[in-house]
Amino acid sequence: MKLRYWVLIAILAGFGGCTYGFLSGLRTDVYHGRVVDEETGLPLAGTVVAVIWYKSSYLAPEGGPKEFLAAQETATKADGTFSLRVSSGLDWDPTTVRVDPPEISIFKPGYEPNTPAWLVRGGFNTYRPLVPALVAGITLKLRKLKSKEEIEMFTSYGPVGVPSNAIPKFIAVVNEQRKLAGFEPLL
């Protein structure tokens, strides 16, 4: 009789863990901040901030291949501020789990996007500490690109494996960057 109770408790605990992962997509945060020119401190209107979630196999969430789950984006206002209510939504596939933290892509034509070098200059070594900073509200500084070669470096920049219809604003600013470099638009 006691064995049955332990088996039932183990099953419910396992279900609870799966439910937590499943329901974590319902949590909503608000990312907000201001984007400015690194040298002048002037606001950068029209900068796109995109938040992308991926999912991975439940058996290998950290090391397995990632697959697109969801994306949300916004553009900064004239004063360089942005606010974006974010949620990955539910992942209905019981064999996958959401990869945390989400990927954050920040792009303004003529400026360096948030590359690994940008993260380091801003005091972040990964996206993980950037997420709570976005929830608290942060000023993000972008470096103006100085040459055509630098502009060309970021003409194909963007999140990998994300359908273009999920990030239309991001695609539009990348196409502006491509125009600056003398290239054809992506789409």
Interval 69-112: pLDDT, tens: 999 999 999 999 999 999 888 878 888 888 888 999 999 999 99
Percent of the chain with pLDDT over 90: 50
Q: Which two tokens stand for residue 124?
A: 């972040």
Using the predicted structure, report yes or no on whether residue 146 has a pLDDT greater than 50.
yes
Q: What is the mean pLDDT of the chain?
A: 84
Go through 101-129 and write b for each residue having 16 or more CB atoms within 10 A of its CB, e for each that does not: bbbbbbbbbbbbbbeeebbeebebeebee
DSSP code per residue over 46-78: T-EEEEEEEEEETT-TTTSPPEEEEEEEEE--T
Q: Which amino acid is at 48?
A: V
**pLDDT for residue 8 is more than 70:** no
The residue ranges of every structural domain in the chain are 2-106+113-145
User: Is it the case that residue 168 has pLDDT exceeding 90?
Assistant: yes
Mean pLDDT lowest among 40-44, 59-63, 128-132:
59-63
Q: What is the mean pLDDT of residues 124-148?
A: 91
Give residue 17's pLDDT: 45
Range 36-51 average pLDDT: 97
Which residues face 86 on adjacent strands? 29
Tell me if the pTM is above 0.85.
Answer: no
Other CB atoms within 10 Å distance of the CB of residue 166:
17
**Contact call for residues 143 and 38 (beta carbons, < 8 A):** yes
Looking at the DSSP bridge assignments, the partners of residue 141 are 36
Q: Is the pLDDT of residue 122 over 80?
A: yes
Q: Is 70 exceeded by the pLDDT of residue 28? A: yes
Residue 22: the pLDDT is 46
In the prediction, which pLDDT does 63 show? 65
- pLDDT of 157 > 90? The answer is no
